[in-house]
Amino acid sequence: MRINPIYLALFLLILPAYSDAAGIEAVKTGSRIDITVNNKFFTSYIFSEDEKYPFFYPVNGPLTGSSVTSMRNGEYPHHSSLFFGCDLVNGGNWWQEGLERGRIISVNARIIKQGGDTVIITDECIWSRPGAISPVKDTRRITITSPSAAMIQIDFDIVMEMLTDVTILKTNHSLFSARMSADLSVKQGGTMINAEGLRSEKDTFGKQSPWIDYYGKRGSGIEGLAIMQHPSNRWYPAPWFTRDYGFISPTPMYWPENGKDISMKKGTVLNLRYRVLVHSGDHKEAKIAEEFERYKKGKTDK
């Protein structure tokens, strides 16, 4: 049978796209979900009963396979890699150590898609504290893809529902955050840069920006992690709480609107979206600015 040369040319054109596509798998084991990309371990979503809140660790870079984030240390035991929480909510603490002060409890972590080029995890979380009414329920949809061999993407869609009237006092411990691996920190020669080109804690702290990228040298290459805020978020673009030792968080609660505590009535719903890019190369090589433009033009409905 003679093959039409036009069809053959089209097949050869699209073949690389199929051969380069990442295969992403997820497996739930006990109180964690393990994710692999092209048969290499990438990260675990951890939601065990002895943890303050669900989080991702490690978050392995595409270049070295080593985590670009770090876990707790003696000085900052409340930094758990890549996580979401908040302090000073109705007298409780859903951020710092001490389960009796408040705990974000995963009640329904599920894998709803895995295999092919995408993993999707959903979870329902109750913010619980002994002897107190739970102030918040959050639902999470986490989508993991790999746009290229040099980048893995994690999309977080988080819906916070106020179960009672909520007041959040001024706090630097709020919402979405990443604690970087020490070897990538500014203190160790790494780079932290925002969308406006401002660098390091001195120039990025308290500044509004759509995104921050944090990266450093590893061997002969560069590896890092960027966090982006979606323009549909309330408080966008939230100012950033940054540290040269390796911490980044878009933190509206530290710079509250009109200088007042943040109050929300029972039934209030907040839709918050963040994109995390785990990448090789610096912010220019990873095209972080272009990636943000692509992100902000994406659909806002869920």
Cα 99 from Cα 97, distance rounded (Å): 7
Provide the strand spans (E) within 149-239: 151-162, 166-168, 174-179, 191-194, 211-218, 221-229
pLDDT of 301 reads: 40
Could you report the per-residue pLDDT of 150-190, keeping only the tens digit for each? Answer: 999 999 999 999 999 999 999 999 999 999 999 999 999 99
Q: Which fold has domain 5-296?
A: Beta-galactosidase; Chain A, domain 5 (2.70.98)
pLDDT of 11 reads: 41
pLDDT of 79 reads: 84
In this structure, which amino acid lies at residue 174? S
Q: What is the pTM of this model?
A: 0.91
Cα 40 from Cα 35, distance rounded (Å): 9
Shortest CA distance to 135 belongs to which of 176, 80, 86? Answer: 86
Residue ranges in the chain modelled with pLDDT below 70: 1-21, 74, 299-302
Could you give phi then psi for residue 13, rounded to 5 degrees?
-70, -40
**Cα dist. 247→15, 58, 260 in Å?**
41, 15, 25
Residue-range domain boundaries for the chain: 5-296
Cα 7 from Cα 190, distance rounded (Å): 49
pLDDT of 142 reads: 98
pLDDT of 76 reads: 75
